[in-house]
Amino acid sequence: MRSVINVSNIIRNSFINTPFSANIHTKSKIPISEIIRNRLKKGSFPFLANDNIADHLLPGEIDALEIEIKDKVQDLLNSMVLDTENDHNTRDTAARISRMYLYEIFKGRYQPPPKITDFPNAKKFDDIYTVGPITVRSTCSHHLVPITGHCWIGVKPSDRVIGLSKFNRLVDWVMARPQIQEEAVVMLADTIENLIKPKGLAVILKAQHNCMSWRGVKDNNTNMITSVMRGNFRDDSSSHQELMKILRGQGF
């Protein structure tokens, strides 16, 4: 029998919605970001750069955030002495940036996790399977510039399995937020491990950081590789060697 796993039940803190509508917030003189921030602080919910806060947003608040962010970005563009009123290229840039951050590159903070359907490991498959290379797009939390690369996932299954495409969805959701690579790979491994509790799990991320290629040393050839090995892949050297042999065949 298959079941649908709600990933948010694994990673979220419990939250009880307040009884009033978010529409009241949009008419308030208090910025919607401050209202959300105060709610998170009051409930002792974390809201670091790579935390997901979707469970703590009321209906309509993401739309109000979009308007507030657009206005703040416009202030930034004005402070950079850009004539957005007369420049057709930047006239709507503030609105585009606001939508981009909320619904695309930072969607892992504001959107709920994907619904994941798991299946019983009916044939008791206990060999290694791998998925990759999966395209990775993330953002450096130090400079808010892109991190791009590829991820490989290795699994030695236990009682449950998930569809291969679901790994891609999980990678996309976890990576779509500002963070550092060392924390991202651990967060992804935690999410997968909690979902299927495999006998062995490997998550390897190889990426280039634009905070190195656009600025600073301006090195376009350096990759950062981070890996998390758990279960059999960490404790059994033969399983580890078999995994790495398979991954090399996938271009790692």
pLDDT at 6: 53
Reduce the DSSP state of residue 151 to 3 states and report it. strand
Look at residue 12 in the predicted model and tell me its pLDDT: 42
Which distant-in-sequence residues (6+ apart) come within 8 Å of 237 by Cβ?
none
In sequence order, what DSSP letters do the residues of 172-207 get, joined into one string?
Answer: HHHHSSEE-HHHHHHHHHHHHHHHH--SEEEEEEEE
Nearest to residue 5, comparing CAs of 153, 128, 120? 120
- H-type alpha helices, the chain: 8-11, 22-27, 32-42, 61-79, 93-100, 107-110, 164-175, 181-196, 210-213, 232-235, 237-249
Query: What pLDDT score does 9 carry?
Result: 47
Domains annotated on the chain, with CATH: 3-110 (no CATH), 120-249 (3.30.1130.10)
Question: Which pLDDT value is given to residue 11?
Answer: 41
Identify whether the C-beta of residue 84 lies closer than 8 Å to the C-beta of residue 77: yes
* Tokens 């290379």 sit on residue: 133
Intervals of the chain under pLDDT 50: 1-5, 7-22, 24-26
Report the alpha-carbon distance of residue 104 to residue 59 in Å, rounded. 19
| pLDDT confidence of residue 249 | 87
pLDDT tens track for 96-138: 999 999 999 999 999 999 999 888 988 889 899 999 999 999 9
On whether the CB atoms of residues 226 and 182 are closer than 8 A, the answer is yes
CA distance 127 to 188: 22
Let me know if 157 is exposed, middle or buried by CB neighbors in 10 A (0-12, 13-18, 19+).
buried
